[in-house]
Amino acid sequence: MNILFLCTGNSCRSQMAEGWARHLKKGVIEASSAGIVRHGLNPYAVRVMEEAGVDMSGHLSKTLDDLTGLEFDTVVTLCGHASETCPFFPGQVRRVHRGFDDPPSLCADMTDEEEILSVYRRVRDEIREFVSGLPGSLD
């Protein structure tokens, strides 16, 4: 099963979902991630995923244009903006929305690093729970 995790900037939530899918569902799911625009990889997301044993340091922030030629069975949008602006995918592509809080937005006014990391950890763990249930959690 080929799944694309799509978010606004492919910097945090979609990258975490791809990382979890590659870590937990190897051989079951071929995971990719992209954004509507490219924002770069979020260092807090990389850090909390590393704490959980998933190395995302080699991931790149991508847009859909970077994935030209790849075919997906399912596109999972992880934020409202991506869901609202998700482009048309030809063929039998299933589109599913599973929204998760946006850590950068939630942490915009925070200055305490541990408080910031706790937000990223919570979202990381919520995404892990969703990905752990794949493909069944798509229903």
Q: Please identify every residue annotated as catalytic.
A: 7, 79, 86
Question: Can you name the residues that pair with 2 across neighbouring β-strands?
Answer: 30
- What is the C-alpha separation between 1 and 120, in angstroms, rounded? 28
> Structure tokens of 125?
């763990």
Query: Which segments of 52-112 does DSSP mark as H helices, in order?
Result: 80-85, 103-106
CB 43 within 8 A of CB 77: no
> Structure tokens of 127?
């995404």
